Amino acid sequence: MSLNGWLQISVFIVTVLLLAQPMGRYLTRVFSHRKTWLDPVLIPCERLLYRITGVDSDHEMRWTEYAGATLLFSAATLVLTYAVERLQHLLPLNPQHLPAVESALAFNTAISFTTNTNWQAYTPETTMSYLTQMLGLATHNFWSAAVGMALAMAFVRGIARRESKTLGNFWVDVTRATLWVLLPLSIVFSLAFLSQGVVQNFRPYDTARLMEPQKVTGLDGKTTIVTTQTIAQGPVASQEAIKMLGTNGGGFFNANSAHPFENPTPLSNFLEMLAIFLLPAGLALCLGEMVGSPKHGWAVLAAMVVLWFVGTLTCYWAESQPNPLLHGVDQQTSLMQSGGNMEGKEVRFGITNSALFATVTTDASCGAVNSMHDSFMPLGGMVPMANILLGEIVFGGVGAGLYGMLVFIVMTVFIAGLMVGRTPEYLGKKIESYDVQMAMLYLLIFPFIILGFSAITLLMPNVGLSSLANHGPHGLSEVLYAYTSATGNNGSAFAGLNANTHWFNYSLAIAMFFGRFMMIVPMLAIAGNLAGKKIAPTSSGTFPVTTPLFTMLLIGVIVIVGALTFFPSLSLGPILEHLLLRAGHAF
Amino acid sequence: MSDVLVLVSLVLLFALAMAYVLGCERLKGKQS
């Protein structure tokens, strides 16, 4: 670790915190239908959309109707993506003449992008046409993020409203999230990425003649001499912005944000990380503004920052360590080299920005990568996995992070109430048995899917284990990471796992589907129940949710729930691998 | 054929999710 590295990390988090408040206030104005400076342009567009689609923007929805609309919208857009993938060979903007996507892979990808996961069991530049990337996938980057924001707003209204049966209008929330938030920000960030050298074109791929022809031996043992290299192109900059802002993470290229056409410079890397945290940080403060307690928003954001810092510190420390198996190799940091574990990392990002990116992308549900998590040191690789296993509430996905955090807040307030022997209250709303049942359902579904699918996969040598590149605890981490990433709707890959098989395509698709929709439903049920309650006046027995004590208790509940659930599996994976590495074993 | 199976699977998955919504609502109704 170096002073330079810590300075870069400090500049990053200070920038996020400086932008969080204006972003939070802007989001509050957008979702409270207050005036914004974009209204003269966007209100006519909004009205036109409602007129075309027949949406009654004054109609208020109960939680069941809100959930139904979420499912209907997701189902319709999912089928559209599946159809585009299957028909891409017949559709325009396919200069490479790529064939139709195979059905299992198309099914997996359609669910992946609908659920904001963006798990990619394929190589985009050799599988998806430009039209599929734009119409099938990039559109979902907007829609799934807008759905996440709409759901978070529904939960916030559930807390803020008193004796109300409704949570707002799903179609209005999705429309406003897209028009007022995601589109303008995407334009700004796209232009910034273009300035850094991210490509944006519809050209066929370039072919370059190699200065030094390469001998390549294929799987059949035949050696061929390669004299040319194909350089993929495409409309990348426009997709890159929403990929990060919407915490989607699906790369235009297989190498994702490690590819020089997606993330060419340290500045573009900084902007990508900023784009990931910008909206989740703003949403935390938007919560405070909308419930009339800005300090509560800051208390929640403080919990996120503390958890982010612990993850960053651990990952940065682990990756800065020399690999103990590389005897006699200079791995110290100097002016000539980054030092530490540079396997799977880009030289232009070094240890600091690789470890920080890995932490940020898994704190949020982004899943973009600028380094290969599979090549991290065992404890460094454990950090991204642990971030997702905590439920992706450390900033979290756009909207999804906030509503996940709100479920943890319900549990925290409930536990605090048990401690002092009073009926728990959250901002004046009594937390009763139904709320806790739904919160527990939310918290239990997540490990049930991850551990269930991981266990089944590990018990099937011919189906699950045959896809592994590594054995031992590292192999366990690869399987555990895949189902963690899918269920948490993160989408980053640990790599080292061939996931483009029928078993993984279908099982991961189901994990992504359940990880999204089976968690949204109990969350909305809590919101609907809270909205109908009276707001009790604050008394001496009310647990304050604006203090450092609340922040510490919230962090404690998140860590204890995560550790009780997942420590046994982590101890058999990355922790065991770390201990064995120290003893001289590699996997 | 594979497309038909995928679409049937999707219908079943979303029907299950909708049933889950109704189940959660029913649980609330029973308790109140």
Give pLDDT tens digits for A509-522: 999 999 999 999 99
Task: Using alpha carbons, select from A322, A316, A317 the residue that is nearest to residue A343.
Answer: A322
Residue A331 at interface with chain B, using a CB cutoff of 8 Å:
no
Interface residue of A113, A517, A518, A524 to substitute, partner B, most B CBs within 10 Å: A517
Within A421-544, residue ranges assigned H as helices are 433-458, 472-487, 502-531
Q: Do A64 and B25 touch (CB under 8 A)?
A: yes
| Interface residue of A516, A521, A524 to substitute, partner B, most B CBs within 10 Å | A521
Tell me the two tokens of residue B27.
Answer: 């649980």
Which of B5, B7, B28 lies nearest to residue A529, judging by beta carbons? B28
**A552: CB partners within 8 A, 6+ apart:** none
CB-closest option in A63, A82, A513 to B13 = A513
Task: Residue A406: name the closest of A505, A260, A554 by CA.
Answer: A554
Please indicate whether, in this complex, the C-beta atoms of A517 and B31 are within 8 angstroms of each other: no
Q: What percent of chain A has pLDDT over 70?
A: 100
Q: Closest partner residue to B14 among A71, A437, A529, by Cβ?
A: A71
- Are A521 and B21 a contacting pair at CB < 8 A? yes
**What are the φ/ψ torsions at residue A199 (nearest 5 degrees)?**
-80, 155
At A352 the pLDDT is: 93
Cα distance between residue A405 and residue A393, in whole Å = 5
pLDDT in tens, A559-571: 999 999 999 999 9
Tokens of A119: 């798990």
At A111 the pLDDT is 94
**Contact residues, chain B, for A78 at CB < 8 Å:** 10
CA–CA separation, A193 and A183 (whole Å): 15
State whether residue A194 sits within 8 Å of chain B by CB: no
pLDDT at B1 over 70: no
A220: pLDDT strictly greater than 90: no
Per the listing, tokens 């304050």 go with: A544
pLDDT at site A541? 72
A473: Cα within 13 Å, side-chain hemisphere: 21
Indicate the pTM of the whole model.
0.92
Interface A:B, Cβ pairs < 8 A: 54
Q: Give the residue-averaged pLDDT of A480-497.
A: 89
Give the dihedral of Cα atoms A559, A560, A565, A571; nearest 10 deg.
Answer: 70
Contact A511, A456 (CB under 8 A): no
Cβ distance A400 to A116 under 8 Å?
yes
Q: How many helices (H) and strands (E) does chain A have?
A: 20, 4
Tell me which residue of A84, A125, A82, A126 sits closest to A105, measured CA to CA. Answer: A82
pLDDT score at B30: 79
Contact A526, A407 (CB under 8 A): yes
Distance CA A333, CA A14 (A): 26
Q: Which residue has the tokens 């359609």?
A: A110
Give chain B's count of helices (H) and strands (E).
1, 0
pLDDT of B32? 67
Helix (H) or strand (E) holding A196: helix A183-196
**Beta carbons of A361 and A549 less than 8 angstroms apart:** no
Assigned token pair, B30: 């029973």
**pLDDT greater than 90 at residue A586:** no
Dist. CA A123–CA A348, nearest whole Å: 23
B7 Cβ contact partners less than 8 Å away, ≥ 6 residues apart: A79, A82
- Across the range A37-43, mean pLDDT stands at 94
Please give the C-alpha separations between residue A272 and each of A76, A178, A356, A534, A587, in angstroms, as whole numbers. 30, 19, 12, 42, 32
Which residue among B2, B9, B24 sits closest to A525, beta carbon to beta carbon? B24
Which of A107, A508, A518 is the best mutation test for B, with the most CBs of B within 10 A? A107
Nearest-CA residue of chain A relative to B5? A103
Average pLDDT over chain A reads 92
Percent of chain A with pLDDT over 90: 74
How far is the alpha carbon of A525 from chain B, nearest alpha carbon, in Å?
7
Q: Is A113 helix (H, G, I), strand (E, B) or coil?
A: helix
Q: DSSP secondary-structure letter at A235?
A: B
Determine whether the interchain pair B20/A71 forms a contact, defined as Cβ–Cβ distance below 8 Å: no
Nearest Cα residue to A78 out of A104, A52, A115, A53: A115
Q: How many CA atoms lie within 13 A of A222 on its CB side?
A: 4
Angle at A78 between CA A76 and CA A81, to 5 degrees: 115
What b/e sequence results for A442-465 when a residue is b if at least 16 CB atoms lie within 10 Å of its CB, and e otherwise?
Answer: bbebbbebbbebbeebeeeeeebe
Average pLDDT estimate for A255-264: 94
Beta-carbon neighbour count of residue B9 at 10 Å? 16
Q: Which residue of B has its CA nearest to A73?
A: B14
CA distance A340 to chain B (A): 46
Q: Let me know: does A82 contact A112? Beta carbons within 8 Å.
A: no
For residue A538, give Cα distances in angstroms to A300, A410, A424. Answer: 20, 17, 12
Q: Does A224 touch chain B (CB under 8 A)?
A: no
Report the candidate in B1, B19, B9 with the shortest Cα–Cα distance to residue A506.
Answer: B9
d(CA A107, nearest CA chain B) in Å: 7
Task: Please state, in angstroms and rounded to a whole number, the distance separating the CA atoms of residues A117 and A146.
Answer: 14
- Whether the predicted pLDDT of A147 surpasses 70: yes
Q: How far is CA A363 from CA A247, A248, A367, A396, in A?
A: 10, 13, 9, 6
Render pLDDT for A260-288 as a digit per residue (tens, 0 to 9): 999 999 999 999 999 999 999 999 999 99
Are the beta carbons of A252 and A286 closer than 8 angstroms? no
Q: Tell me whether residues B14 and A75 touch, CB distance under 8 A.
A: yes
Please state whether beta strands A425-426 and A206-217 pair in parallel, antiparallel, or not at all (unpaired): unpaired
The answer to whether B10 contacts A529, with C-beta atoms less than 8 Å apart, is no
